Structure 1
């Protein structure tokens, strides 16, 4: 799996989806060319998230796009996801690797160079770095006012794995994050809350990887 080709990364969130069902939003994002989907859906019970994960696995497999599960190593295994993304309060990276196997993708959140280096030393395949800009999301690490593209640049210079910027990113500011050294950008509401998630995905792709 070429993580270095991930330019647009969708993090699901029904609470940011304007009343739409998550599978419909994901289907639109896949049609728009999103590179990877992360199942988040915090606030839902495990069984609901499992059923949703199975549906998203079908959609992403059909599109040839990786599916990553937020936080839950057990759920990632249960839905046959391609990997897991871990925050600093989740299971250690080494344990996730043991549980999911050597072929699984294991990503980790970081907001400082020290955190980034520690995660890579523990075996992280990629880093979600943020919050780059101010965000109301409770699922993004970092300062409420954002760490800025400058910190993204510092992290990208300090590690040798792909860096995905996250937090307060949309089609208007995404290019600055990539120019700072990020491989790509991860978004929630920039796609899920958009009137047309497919068009929003296409606009984000154009911003970070113009033809």
Structure 2
């Protein structure tokens, strides 16, 4: 699926598959009203309360983090493993971990309840992007089975 980050109007104009909104962008309820029932709505959450509200308002999935230190997003602090696990336990929608995830540290997320990860640097900072993506995919699959 093609998901537009942060901009519901662009997602609607281009008939994207969905949108991902942060806490300061637009509430899931408003994004759903603009895009309709058939589009994917993802919401960034940093607390159990934010996660529950997003789910209540119709979010299809949550992006949760930063689970590790990251240079990609300077306005988000690092989340504890306990908070990540509490969010996963509190909601029934999929939770995707984001923030500073690499092949070296993704194993630390085992048992948290996440269904996947979102990465930037772990792939794009590598010399061989294709190999980095394949290696990370295998590592994440192993972590999710743990």
- Is contact 2:44-2:62 (8 Å) kept? yes
Task: Name the residue aligned to 1:102.
Answer: 37
Task: Name the residue aligned to 1:136.
Answer: 71
Q: Does 1:164 align with 2:96?
A: yes
Deviations 1:140-192 (A, max 9, x none): x641xx21322211110111000000001011122322431110001111112
CA distance in 1, matches of 2:76, 2:83: 11
Instruction: Identify which of 56, 59, 62 aligns with 1:127.
Output: 62
Mind listing any 5+ residue stretches in structure 1 that lack a counterpart? 1-65
CA distance in 2, matches of 1:69, 1:178: 28
Q: Secondary structure at the match of 2:82?
A: helix
Larger RCO (CA under 8 A, 6+ residues apart):
1
Alignment CA distance shift 1:111-1:168 (3 Å): same
RMSD between aligned alpha carbons?
A: 1.7
TM-score by length of 1: 0.64
CA distance in 1, matches of 2:128, 2:13: 31
Q: Does 1:186 align with 2:118?
A: yes
TM-score by length of 2: 0.90
Instruction: Identify which of 134, 137, 141 aligns with 1:202.
Output: 134
Equivalent pairs counted in the alignment come to 143
CA distance in 2, matches of 1:178, 1:184: 11
